[in-house]
Amino acid sequence: MLAATARIDDKLHGFSFSTLERIGGTPCVLLGLLSVKRSSKRDSVLKSLMGEAFHRALMAFPDEDVVVGSRFVKPDALEAFKNLDELIPRPGHRAVGEERAWGRRLARRFGVDSTYDEQSFVVKANGQSGFIDHESLKADKIGADVRAIFGSVAPAKAGSLIAHGWTMAEDLVKLGARQLT
């Protein structure tokens, strides 16, 4: 388990818990929990926490493409995955067998496979033991098509959506680079 924190003026503004592992031989970053304080600096806090996750992936899996996966309860939180390629699920894309298989693998890894629907990528109940907790500063710019993906997520039953995407090795070098000041 890896932990990361984001502080501004010595005050905690965000944290994450994640793992780096191989699933079926493929390098993965599993974000179990990531939470960002609702403030005017939340976008930079999210960028910092994701940058740390990418940096750790770069150190553990140099020269390899990496899958990044997590659970979501709001479309705002998908902002964390904006730098990933081939985000699944995504609007206008019907997931094929291998993409659904990754959803099943992640559901099993998160311990929610008994209530997971591989067609919609939705955990119907008891899927909120960890997820990306982020509210966007630009929530009004989230498209109706993205919101529709979350249509069958039932917050009252602790439902969630499992999403994953890829970062290619050459992109990971940039995303995981440390910013020296």
Residues 38-81 pLDDT 10s: 999 999 999 999 999 999 999 999 999 999 999 999 999 999 99
Pick 34 or 156 by higher pLDDT. Answer: 34
Residue 180 has pLDDT above 60, yes or no: no
Q: State the Cα angle at 88 between 75 and 143, rounded to 5°.
A: 35
Residue with the two structure tokens 């992109």: 171
Q: How far is CA 62 from the centre of its chain?
A: 20
pLDDT for the residue numbered 179: 66
Q: What is the number of alpha carbons within 13 Å of residue 110 lying toward its C-beta?
A: 38
pTM of the predicted protein model: 0.92
Is the per-residue pLDDT at 181 higher than 60?
no
Give the gyration radius of the chain's Cα atoms.
16
Once rounded to an integer, what is the mean pLDDT over residues 84-91? Answer: 95
2-175: what fold?
Aminopeptidase (3.40.630)
What's the pLDDT band for 155 if we cut at 50, 70, 90? confident
Chain-centre distance for alpha carbon 67: 10
What three-state secondary structure class fits 181? coil
> Domain segments of the chain: what residues?
2-175
pLDDT band, residue 140 (cuts 50/70/90) = confident
Average pLDDT over residues 14-19: 98
**Residue 93 contacts residue 36 (beta carbons within 8 Å):** no
Q: Does the pLDDT at position 173 exceed 70?
A: yes
pLDDT digits (tens, 9 = 90+) for 114-124: 999 999 999 99
Stretch 128-146: mean pLDDT: 91
